[in-house]
Structure 1
């Protein structure tokens, strides 16, 4: 079951996103910036979320809708159960369950469970990044209040930077990405609008609407709404594991980890090299150690030591030990740490790579400003 197909992908050309040079907020309510800052802080420290989520796509020729029960523990854990649907790619009874190591996708029509192993996957919080981008880059307008699921919510209209074009939008309420399925004709005449409703009590997005208009005609509209929203009320740990139906066909994808360990001693007994005890910042705790056996050209036996800050969503760093190097010095910045040559990568994930005898190391962080050089120096060459 490919859940992304619900939101059809169009051609690769861009839609001009309309907007004005200035876009003032109303004077009789809280500022849009303060509301989004509150939403960012709510998401950054959110432990769990449950809701009934409805997604509706409208075009001049059809309307497709599905309603799901959503349970989340950002950044990695999620459970989706389709309750009602007119979407042929997500029939009623479909289930998707994800944790840090595995995703199960069950399609009741085919009676197939697709199991995807991703023990080395990095779990960034896309929703948090979208909220931060809206706050930092978009022009915002406060449009008063409305009622969502019987609760007061503040309406914010967002407009992108004047030079931004594109036809893909990361959703805040939908926790995914959708593409506007339009033809390439007369794209310059199209206007994209995006409205977000933030619950007054929770200070969290509960509705999002994206529209593409051609003059006065709505060419495409997507609306996502949360009902029965509950934040930080606790969920059972077994929520994020899944037992396939007894008669279902199980199809696996990816490399299943050799082991997922809670301690150095257990992990070290399973690998052919010594594991480093990295000196990480005090806020970080060792979350788990994953061991994956790969082909030699992909690094051989690969051990990842995951550290995260339990008080901040997606504040995570990790140390990787491989039997063979998996970095290209020619495309990285050469640096020196304690007299040893290493290589630095900047981007969404900041990383330092270096070789040491029979193993290769990597230290990476999802957060700017973490002391990667100091962590690297604490490992050195063992």
Structure 2
């Protein structure tokens, strides 16, 4: 099953969950579009879980499809999507996608095939929050009043990209998956008009509906609408929501390297490791979430252990410390620095990383956010 397609021509949208934020228009003055999106970003940053029934419809010049899904999420990594109704041939009713920190299952009832992908050391970004931040920073926002969505009062915000951003492709997000939507070759960028309208729930201050429309010379080429019904936020989810048991008659195909183990303490992980693990000094807001151990292929050799720390109060605020029996980094392409009297190397891309070696062991400290004191954490590790 290809979850990256909603139909062959392709188009997409972003939507996720919420927590309660006090309204800003209680004094009679309506909130601005910028204020509403800021509220949504703050809501997303501190959200724990959401559950909803999601309705999605896509119309193009050639066809129209609809899909109804039951959605449960615990950002940034965990989600469960069950397709209840669908006219989309690529995602039939009965399709299931379940993702947790280490594994993704995708079930296609037509083929009776389950694709099980291991990703024990995947760094999880909060794509929905990044999209909201992009709307705030790059788009022109206008407040268009209020409307009722699923019986709830919502504020309507129309967003328009900067003129120079209307180009040959649109990069959108559905849930936590990125879609790149190519436009037809016949579309003249000067004649295109892209509109994204977001309905932000008045009570929770979070998107509850979104519509994306692409017109060329006044003709609608793509129109996608997503709406949440029966939305519940931070009320907890049933145990086992983010695990999956394939149907007995399904064929399971696996991809990625299965971890040798996932542990909640250093002593437990060290029982299967050929080396001791460090006890780094991390900021007080971070707690140890898990330790993953992955063994390389027999013809390559080597074991990798990763200590994952996160801030339980902020989504996707995560850092990690990795110990390897082999050197993965290339010093020639990194910035050389000094770490507590030792030579280290820094990478400053989207993910901040520090690397160094000590005897026969290689270390890496990294994070997605740029506010973690990586050099101090690295200095606290020393040589084991």
Per the TM superposition, whether the score is higher than 0.5 is: yes
Structure 1 residue runs of 5 or longer lacking an equivalent are 11-26
CA deviation profile, 1:185-218 (whole Å, cap 9, x unmatched) = 2232111111111000111101111111012210
- Give the corresponding residue for 1:133: 134
Give the 3 Å change call, closer, same or farther, for CA 328–134 of structure 1 in structure 2: same
Structure 2 residue 123 is the aligned partner of structure 1 residue 122: yes
Give the conservation status (yes or no) of the 8 Å contact 1:155–1:195.
Answer: yes
Among 363, 366, 371, the residue aligned to 2:365? 363
Question: What residue in structure 2 maps to residue 67 of structure 1?
Answer: 68
What is the 5 A alignment of 1:206-245? 206-245=208-247
Change (3 A) 1:218 1:324: same
The alignment partner of 1:238 has SS state of coil
1:353 is matched with: 355
Q: Does 1:316 align with 2:335?
A: no
Secondary structure at 1:136 match in 2: helix
What SS does structure 2 have at the residue aligned with 1:3?
Answer: coil
CA distance in 2, matches of 1:296, 1:378: 33
2:307 corresponds to which residue?
305
Cα distance in 1 for partners of 2:363, 2:273 equals 15
Q: Helix, strand or coil: the match of 1:88?
A: coil
Deviation of 1:6 (Å):
1.4
Secondary structure of 2:79 counterpart: strand
Correspondent of 1:377 among 367, 376, 379: 379
- Indicate the residue corresponding to 2:17 in structure 1: none
Q: Structure 2 unaligned segments of length 5 or more: list them.
A: 11-27
| 1:5 and 2:34 aligned | no
Identify the residue that residue 19 of structure 1 maps to in structure 2. Answer: none
**SS of 1:360 mapped into structure 2:** strand
Q: Which residue of 1 aligns with 2:19?
A: none
Q: CA deviation at 1:175?
A: 3.2
**Corresponding position: 1:77 with 2:75:** no
Query: SS in structure 1 opposite 2:164?
Result: coil
**Counterpart check, 1:203 vs 2:205:** yes
SS at match of 1:303: strand
Aligned position for 1:164: 165
Which has the higher mean CA deviation after the structures are superposed, 57-66 or 70-79? 57-66
Partner of 1:43: 44
Give 1:299 shift.
Answer: 7.6
Q: Is the 8 A contact 1:342 1:352 kept in 2?
A: yes
Change (3 A) 1:354 1:9: farther
Q: Does 1:294 align with 2:296?
A: yes
Residue in structure 2 matched with residue 108 of structure 1 by the alignment: 109
Cα RMSD (Å): 1.8
Q: CA deviation at 1:7?
A: 4.6
Q: Is the partner of 1:304 in helix, strand or coil?
A: strand
TM-score where L is the length of structure 1: 0.92
Q: What is the aligned partner in structure 2 of residue 21 from structure 1? A: none
Query: Is the 2:166–2:193 contact (alpha carbons within 8 Å) kept by the matching residues of 1?
Result: no
Matched, 1:330 2:338: no
Aligned length: 366
For the Cα contact (< 8 Å) 1:7–1:178, is it kept in 2?
no
Structure 1, 282-291 or 49-58: larger mean CA deviation? 49-58
| Residue of structure 1 equivalent to 2:23 | none
Bigger Cα displacement from structure 2, 152-161 vs 309-318 = 152-161
Alpha-carbon deviation of 1:28? 5.7
Q: How does 1:142-153 map to 2 (within 5 A)?
A: 142-153=143-154
Contact 2:65/2:87 (<8 A) preserved: yes
